[in-house]
Amino acid sequence: MVDAFFRVLALTRKELLQIFKDPRSRYSLLIPPILQCLIYGYVATYDLNDVPYAVLDQDHSAASQKFLAALDGSGVFRRVANLNRSVDVKTTINERRALLVVQIQPDFERRLLSGRQADVQVIADGRNSNTAGTAMGYIGEIVESFNASWRKEQGEPNPPIRLTTRAWYNPNLETRWHMIPALIGTLTFIQTLLLTGLSVAREREQGTFDQLLVTPFRPVEIMAGKALPAIFVGIVQATMVLLVAQLWFRIPFAGSFITLYAGLIVFLLAAVGMGLLLSSVAATMQQAMLFSFLLMMPFALLSGLTTPVSSMPMALQYATLINPLRYAIDMAHRVYLEGVGLDLLFPQLWPLAIIAFVTLSGASWMFRHRLT
């Protein structure tokens, strides 16, 4: 037993040396995760802060000026053109000079002053309908506050009902708060999968795997020697993402670090198990890499990272049940933002434990049977 422990330790040491000795592989494990974290943090957001728009003001009245001032003063909308003819609307949108065109009818002020309803046309470039929809939503909010202040000035009563909204766990609804904790799972998943997948495939490709087999190592020990370094690297990377989240983006951490790391270890076992299983199928490094890529893409897409799992069709929602990343992202959100303890993480932990158990025992079976 003690011998086995020392053998695993020796193999772990050799693996870690192999990973960190080569400066290129050292940097490629450390720099890309931090870079990705920063890029995702700044870029991966559906919030808009600069929307170029054009105006076709057919009224040219004090009221229309005031309305446009409300748009210009919002800090989000930037007027790039004042159009004079309605035919210009088409070219402005077609040639992507503006995302929106706001069209004000000639009787805008007259209708407002006489207490009637005045329409404002908003035409959006729907080539990216998500962006266009978000921009329209912003316009709606600005119009609402314009209406309120107009009524106030005219001495009209406010509508008797108002909507107040509040968001749990993410008061300003920042996409970043959703994205960065999710990266704790996503980035470590990608790296551990690649690392374990490659380390066995490399030995096999270079013929050193056969040499390992004639040593006193048992297959389980070889597996442990391959798994431990990858888990270690995964923990280091998760910590780096966590540091970026806390020190750079300053996203408040609601839970306990012990809970987070305990959950991470279960998740990493599942990820490493997948990597090992994959490497036992792959004959060369190239195959290992391509197969892990083939696995990673659907896992990342079906994890809830970019689109909510609940919006997927039922069949795919079932498919996400075997996706370790889905549980890892859930777990990271729940601990990081909601602050739940280990007892409430149970729904995420047991599927991960089952995935880890199945993949690890599958991999060790494959190890033994590919050897003979």
Within residues 175-214, the interface with another protein by CB under 8 A covers: 175, 177-178, 194, 198
Distance CA 70, CA 143 (A): 8
Is residue 48 within the footprint of another protein (CB under 8 A)?
yes
Q: Shortest Cβ distance from residue 177 to another protein (Å)?
A: 6
Is residue 152 within the footprint of another protein (CB under 8 A)?
no
Q: Pick one of 158, 208, 215, 361: the residue that binds another protein (CB under 8 A).
A: 158
Is residue 168 within the footprint of another protein (CB under 8 A)?
yes
Q: Shortest Cβ distance from residue 216 to another protein (Å)?
A: 29
Q: How many residues bind another protein (CB under 8 A)?
A: 106
Q: Pick one of 21, 216, 250, 311: the residue that binds another protein (CB under 8 A).
A: 311
DSSP string, 176-235: HHHHHHHHHHHHHHHHHHHHHHHHHHHHHHHTHHHHHHHSS--HHHHHHHHHHHHHHHHH
Backbone angles phi, psi at 177, to 5 degrees: -65, -25
Identify which of residues 93 and 356 has a Cβ nearer to another protein in the complex. Answer: 93
Q: Structure tokens of 361?
A: 């025992």
What residues between 58 and 117 interact with another protein by CB under 8 A?
A: 67, 91, 93-96, 99, 111-112, 115-117
Identify which of residues 2 and 161 has a Cβ nearer to another protein in the complex. Answer: 161
Is residue 312 within the footprint of another protein (CB under 8 A)?
yes
What residues between 107 and 136 interact with another protein by CB under 8 A?
A: 111-112, 115-134, 136
Strand ranges across the sheet with 51-57: 77-83, 51-57, 100-104
Look-up of token digits 């035409």: 123
Is residue 316 within the footprint of another protein (CB under 8 A)?
yes
Look-up of token digits 């007892």: 343
> Among candidates 297, 298, 292, 267, which has minimal Cα distance to 278?
292
Look-up of token digits 């083939």: 294
What residues between 325 and 364 interact with another protein by CB under 8 A?
A: 333, 337-338
Is residue 49 within the footprint of another protein (CB under 8 A)?
yes
Q: Pick one of 69, 243, 258, 290: the residue that binds another protein (CB under 8 A).
A: 290
Q: Shortest Cβ distance from residue 79 to another protein (Å)?
A: 14
CB pairs under 8 A, 24+ apart, for 110-119?
112/63, 112/150, 113/63, 115/156
DSSP helix/strand/coil, 75: coil
